[in-house]
Structure 1
Amino acid sequence: MRRVTVAVGLLLVVGVGLALSGALAGPSAEGPPAGEPSAATVPEESLIAVDGDYRLWPYTSRSRSVEGRTLAINVVVRADAAATRTAIESRTAGDWEETDGTEAATTADAERVRAFVERDWADARSSTRYGYVEGPGGGTWLTETFELHDGTYLGVRDHLRAYESPDGAYTAIQAHEEYYDWFRLRHTVPGIDDPAVRLEDEFIRGAVDAEVSREYRGIEGGWSDGWISVIELASLATVAGALLRRRTRAAAVDLARRSRREAVRHADAALLGAALGAVVVGVRATGVGLELAYPTVPPKAIAGPLYLVLAVGLPALVVARSRECDPAAVALAVVVGVGAGFVIDFAALGVAVPPALVVHRVALLAALGAVAAGRAADDRPVLGAGLSAWAVGLALPIAGVI
């Protein structure tokens, strides 16, 4: 009776979790929050003057229409695209040293400084997003003049889309942070503010002589807070030719230590939980490692087989190794192990996880817990319900519901 109650509770968590994650999810990985207005044509009042003869519509779009609006433009460089790209890719001339405690109040934190001087910008691969400008001859839809990213496709990266105005007076940039979500099989955008600040920092403390300011333009929607960063390049004479070193991230997660007595008593369950967590973390590490080792291979060709490791490998491992375990212990071990893997994965990426995805992961944990409990108790209805819940949990994000 107790096992049935636990199983029903886990499946209830799955159902509620998937329902909530679908309700909380936005329309797309790169779209603004739901409910924002759209229009068939670009409204005159939404255009902003930057420089030169062309006013800017401060958003990107999936299509050549306002209805496809996604993220807001958040950086403008008063230079043509070639000069802008050269400036972004240039190495800093600074000689950075560790900052002690007495300097912390007046000097930028050393780790934050290293984060932006060790960036490694490279050409980005992504879906096409359009920009729009309007000049003396009317409106023009633009494709990306160039794209750059700092980071890895299958990990986390800052992604820049740049659009040069037709007269070359300025380059509008949409900067956002994105990470690859293994259960959605696509990128998720946590926000656009932090990447713009990091790009500002590069110009403020880098080798390029530039003036950086912020202007409030009242931009609404597309994750914008209304402000736009304006960068004016004073001189390109000091631009270095070498690419910046790759940004590194360090993340640490403290896990609660299980008591020795319980670890011995439920050693098989504990080992299973640890193995499952290692699989979750290993998939990300393997994907990023293969992407860096074989840069010519399309990232999605790497992601496909690794996704099967998660989608099929996790429940298969649970079914194979739960038979001789205590049902309650193995269910707990599976939830803790896979949950720890999710936490470590997100912590290593260093991104803010949308609430919808947090709820979705909780639902997946409950589904795997039900699979483990059903297998250990030799309860086929519970096992089948857990596997069905796992399948539904995988299908919803791929279908775009979450």
Structure 2
Amino acid sequence: MRRSIVVTAVLVILAFLFVGGPSLLFSPSTADIAPEKADASDPEIVTPDGSESGFWPYLNAREAHEKRSPLNVIVRSDAETVVRQLQEHGDKEWKETDHDHFDAEELVNSTTNGSDDEDDIVGGDLASEDTETEQFLSPTEVPWSTADGATRLAYLDPGNGDDAYWTTETLQLEDGEYYGYRYHIRLYESPNPDDQWVVMQTHSEHFDWFTLRHRVDGVEQAQYRLEKDLMSIPAVDEREDVTRVNLGNSGPSDANGWATNVDLVSAALLFTLGLATRRDRLLEPAKSELDERLTETDRTRIEAATDRIEAGHLVLVGTVITIILGVRVMGVALDRHAGVLSVHMIAALLYPFIALGLPISTYLIARGLTSRLDAAVVASGSLAVAIWLDYGFVNLHSLPIDVVVQRMLVVVALGLIAGGAAKRATRNSPLNDLLLAGIALWVIVLVGTLFGYL
């Protein structure tokens, strides 16, 4: 029992140091901030210049004035013209997508917590300068295609004496991979036929295989990306037709309250956000410098640790990393090339590799290992590495706090399963406290996540 407590404590420390700590320190959106509620009796309506109609500058999953998803692009045109201009002037041919969006609740036939819906943009505290600017960005390719996603409601005011009302999106567009990383746009057309404007909400998101949901990463990159695409349209004058206006909807995610305002005049289009490049640098000390700093005691410890490495440790590392990255790559490949499979079918095909394949493979490989602590640390460390490699695959750089906690728990759970399967743990009984605790934690975390409790 005492040894089990030591193993568990080591795993918790490892999970925090290699998953929780870096995520909390370097992710700008880890703070989970509850959405602010507006006055439902008198919500502030934004009216585009020259229009009678207007909109409340947020989207929501239900008919409630909660400040969740900030609208961040306005285009003076109609939706049909916007789409046609993108088709005619984009550098890539547009294609229809047949995604039937689903969330985890569809797999378990349950209703999830509203705060976990794929496109609720809540959390984060980054703020940009509140200065009105004109953007002068270079044109880019426009590989947008129509998309499906969870329904979000906009509150529109016709402005002609009629009452304001909630409505679903006119159209959704995406650029990227459904099971990888993508930019997602929802657009809403003016409720007044005499006014020609389209308001949009654009954000970047990735598919999370551990939760079976799309997780929103932010809105700023997507907004700049859309600006670039809009400016690539010949009818758009960058200096005169593209400006920024303050909608006063800063706060959620990295939204700063400034929306891109594009006047297409006779040929209008919508979309916002530019792809921010990410530069990661890895600085390693020279080998000679490292050797100079090592004492004889350090070298002895390194040699002892090296002697404890078994072939099974390497097999376990390779297996865990292969499963995590393999599911990501196969999801993207099947979505792109297997047209006969819906997104539900792809998820049903691949998710068992995460939920069942990962713990079962870990257990079977760890049975051949001797030390409980070594098996546990290798399994947890491998999963931590695989998680960060997966984040790199989808270019992820921000996480909500609930995802950070969930990742720490699965890292600990897999380590407990591996430690409980090692030879020294199974000397008296194959079912021991480490193994049972690991299985219980794994099931609780994944099932709780699917049902929206985590």
Same-fold status (TM-score > 0.5):
yes
Any idea what the Cα deviations from partners look like across 1:13-61, whole Å, max 9, x if unmatched?
69999xx99xx9xxxxxxx8315224444x24x1111142102111112
**Partner residue in 1 for 2:413:** 367
**Partner residue in 1 for 2:77:** 79
SS at structure 1 position matched to 2:447: helix
Letter in 2 for 1:332: V
Q: Is the 8 A contact 1:14 1:389 kept in 2?
A: no
**Partner residue in 1 for 2:3:** 3
Question: What is the CA distance between 1:378 and its match in structure 2?
Answer: 2.7
Letter in 1 for 2:410: L
Question: What is the CA distance between 1:93 and its match in structure 2?
Answer: 6.8
**Partner residue in 1 for 2:318:** 274
Find the aligned partners of 1:232 and 1:192 in 2 and give their Cα distance. Answer: 21
Letter in 2 for 1:179: H
**Partner residue in 2 for 1:319:** 363
**Partner residue in 1 for 2:129:** none
Q: Is the 8 A contact 1:154 1:291 kept in 2?
A: yes
**Partner residue in 1 for 2:155:** 132
**Partner residue in 2 for 1:212:** 242
Find the aligned partners of 2:61 and 2:450 in 1 and give their Cα distance. Answer: 19
**Partner residue in 1 for 2:392:** 347
**Partner residue in 2 for 1:56:** 55
Letter in 2 for 1:54: S
Deviates more, 1:368-377 or 1:118-127: 118-127
1:105-254 superposed matches below 5 A: 117-134=140-157, 135-136=159-160, 137-166=162-191, 167=193, 168-210=195-237, 211-223=241-253, 224-234=255-265, 236=267
Tell me the TM-score normalized by structure 1: 0.79
Letter in 2 for 1:276: V
SS at structure 1 position matched to 2:425: coil
Residue 33, structure 1, aligned to residue 33, structure 2: yes
Distance 1:208 1:374, change over 3 A: farther
Find the aligned partners of 1:253 and 1:266 in 2 and give their Cα distance. Answer: 32
SS at structure 2 position matched to 1:6: helix
Q: Is the 8 A contact 1:214 1:227 kept in 2?
A: yes
Find the aligned partners of 1:347 and 1:65 in 2 and give their Cα distance. Answer: 36
**Partner residue in 2 for 1:100:** none
Find the aligned partners of 2:84 and 2:307 in 1 and give their Cα distance. Answer: 56
Find the aligned partners of 2:252 and 2:420 in 1 and give their Cα distance. Answer: 45
The one of 385, 388, 396 aligned to 2:448: 396
Find the aligned partners of 2:250 and 2:204 in 1 and give their Cα distance. Answer: 19
Find the aligned partners of 1:340 and 1:86 in 2 and give their Cα distance. Answer: 44
Find the aligned partners of 2:384 and 2:15 in 1 and give their Cα distance. Answer: 18
Distance 1:355 1:143, change over 3 A: closer
Find the aligned partners of 1:300 and 1:313 in 2 and give their Cα distance. Answer: 19
Any idea what the Cα deviations from partners look like across 1:297-344, whole Å, max 9, x if unmatched?
321221122111101111100111111213233222212222121111
Q: Is the 8 A contact 1:160 1:176 kept in 2?
A: yes
Structure 2 gaps of 5+ residues are: 25-31, 93-134, 270-274, 288-301, 427-431
Question: What is the CA distance between 1:205 and its match in structure 2?
Answer: 4.2
1:370-385 superposed matches below 5 A: 370-376=416-422, 377-379=424-426, 380-385=432-437
Distance 1:71 1:282, change over 3 A: same
Higher share of residues assigned strand: 1
**Partner residue in 1 for 2:117:** none
Q: Is the 8 A contact 2:11 2:380 kept in 1?
A: no
**Partner residue in 2 for 1:293:** 337
SS at structure 2 position matched to 1:281: helix
Find the aligned partners of 2:375 and 2:188 in 1 and give their Cα distance. Answer: 53
Q: Is the 8 A contact 2:35 2:68 kept in 1?
A: no
Distance 1:61 1:381, change over 3 A: same
Tell me the TM-score normalized by structure 2: 0.70
Structure 1 gaps of 5+ residues are: 25-31, 95-107, 240-246
Find the aligned partners of 2:14 and 2:39 in 1 and give their Cα distance. Answer: 38
Find the aligned partners of 1:383 and 1:342 in 2 and give their Cα distance. Answer: 22
Q: Is the 8 A contact 2:8 2:412 kept in 1?
A: no
Question: What is the CA distance between 1:268 and its match in structure 2?
Answer: 1.3
Any idea what the Cα deviations from partners look like across 1:339-371, whole Å, max 9, x if unmatched?
121111111111223142223212211111111
Distance 1:355 1:58, change over 3 A: closer
Letter in 2 for 1:217: L
Question: What is the CA distance between 1:214 and its match in structure 2?
Answer: 0.6
Deviates more, 1:144-153 or 1:294-303: 294-303
Find the aligned partners of 2:56 and 2:169 in 1 and give their Cα distance. Answer: 14
